[in-house]
Structure 1
Amino acid sequence: MKGSMVSGEIVEPYAEALMSLAQSQNQTERFGEDVRSLLGVLESSEDLQNFLGNPIVSAENKKAVLQQIAGDGLHPYILNFLMLLVERRRILFLEEICKHFQALQRKLNQTVLAEVISAVELSDAQQQAISEKVKAISGAQQVELDTKLDPDLIGGVIIKVGSQVLDASLRGQLRRIGIRLNSAA
């Protein structure tokens, strides 16, 4: 069901409602931090995703686990939002709701998300240079980098901003050279 039209009809209204609440309480940054930490927990634990998405597990058990995970770290409104998702049997969409909330927050802050794939870990200076390049290309005020490692690149980086892809990797350069050689033959 994930990624379907039903998912979109559920995800967007909940994310927009959470953003509306965040704005009305002047807590968009705080909610954003909480959503980011929730996403981190969800993405690092497939067991948690399966537990929350399991229809056999009672709502009370899901709420108890979420309260344990939240501890005192989450804003009370975020915790209430999670409980509402459990009660309405929408908790299995939590990851997608969080991602949509982040997209809304980026739009609000005039921030663009750039996915950066590199062969090795990037230094702070390299990340800053990539941010500046993405700002120049996109015209955004701020840039949020989502870095991933792929040793198959050999060297260099691939930067994805929306539908634009900048391939400055050695693997990409070798592929382009190979295409030129094949077309010349």
Structure 2
Amino acid sequence: MADIVSERYALSLYEVAADEKKEKAYLDELTAVCEAFGREPDFLKMLMTPSIALEDKQKVLRAVFEGRIETYLLNFLMLITEKGRVGLIHSMREAYKEHYYFENGIVEVRAITAKPLSAALAEKLKAKMSAVTGKQVVLETSVDESILGGIVVKLGGEQFDTSLRTRLNEIAARLTNTIA
């Protein structure tokens, strides 16, 4: 969950995007910007360094992003750099995404399996979760061999764990309680 400062900046950006009817485009571009900062952490550090002049930071932002992202998004990056908030860009993106998903009836579901989920099973899980939630599902899958089998599904703040590892741990706990 993003902090209140990140949420306010994200909501302001979302309102601009909504006025332009480009909410998804802004989300995609903001995600790309965050990925760029993730790949080049020194770039983000430079933008947060107080000893570097704001004008120099803005020149670099223009050189890197001008013509590649929406003008308002570039202005947003320059504003949060000026206000010393650029370090919160990742949580701002998360808050923007949460707002976008809420407004568009989308829910993010995370599925963890012991082996990669086939495309057919992923689609089946998406359909099932969509029926359960009544929302469009964005499915994120990952592999964790330590669960041995089954699936762990995370939806919002809830987790549904039908993994073999959990079942074995439950059996072991019952046996320990029975013997003790």
- Short-chain TM bin: 0.7 to 0.9
The Cα of 1:175 is off from its aligned counterpart by 1.6
1:29 maps to 24
Distance across 2 between alignment mates of 1:118 and 1:68: 42
> How far is 1:39 from its partner?
3.0
SS class of match (2:127): helix
Aligned residue number for residue 70 of structure 1: 65
Check if 1:101 corresponds to 2:96. Answer: yes
Q: CA 1:49 to 1:159, structure 2 compared with 1: closer, same or farther past 3 Å?
A: farther
Q: For the structure 1 residues 184 and 124, does the alpha-carbon distance in structure 2 shift closer, same or farther, using more than 3 Å as the test?
A: same
Aligned to 1:120, the other structure's residue is in SS state coil
Q: CA deviation at 1:181?
A: 2.4
Query: Aligned residues: percent identity?
Result: 27
Shift of 1:148: 2.9
The aligned counterpart of 2:107 is 112
CA RMSD in angstroms, aligned pairs only = 2.3
How far does the alpha carbon of each residue in 1:117-170 deviate from its partner, in whole angstroms, 9 at most, with x for none? 223332222221221222233222x11123333222223321111121111222
TM-score, normalised on structure 2? 0.85
| 3-state SS of 1:107 partner | helix
Equivalent residue, structure 2, for 1:55: 50
Query: Per-residue displacement from partner, 1:58-97 (whole Å, max 9, x unpaired)?
Result: 4344334434543533112111111111111111111111
Q: 2 CA distance for matches of 1:63 and 1:112?
A: 36
Distance 1:172 1:59, change over 3 A: farther
Unmatched 5+ stretches in structure 2: none
Q: Which is higher, the Rg of structure 1 or of structure 2?
A: 2
Which structure 1 segments of 5+ residues have no match?
none
Q: Secondary structure at the match of 1:147?
A: strand
Q: Kindly tell me the number of residue pairs found equivalent between the two proteins.
A: 179
Counting only pairs closer than 5 Å after superposition, residues 118-137 of structure 1 correspond to structure 2 as: 118-137=113-132
CA separation of 1:170 and 1:17: change in aligned 2, threshold 3 A = same
1:147 aligns with 2:138: no
> How high is the TM-score relative to the length of structure 1?
0.83
CA distance in 2, matches of 1:166, 1:130: 13
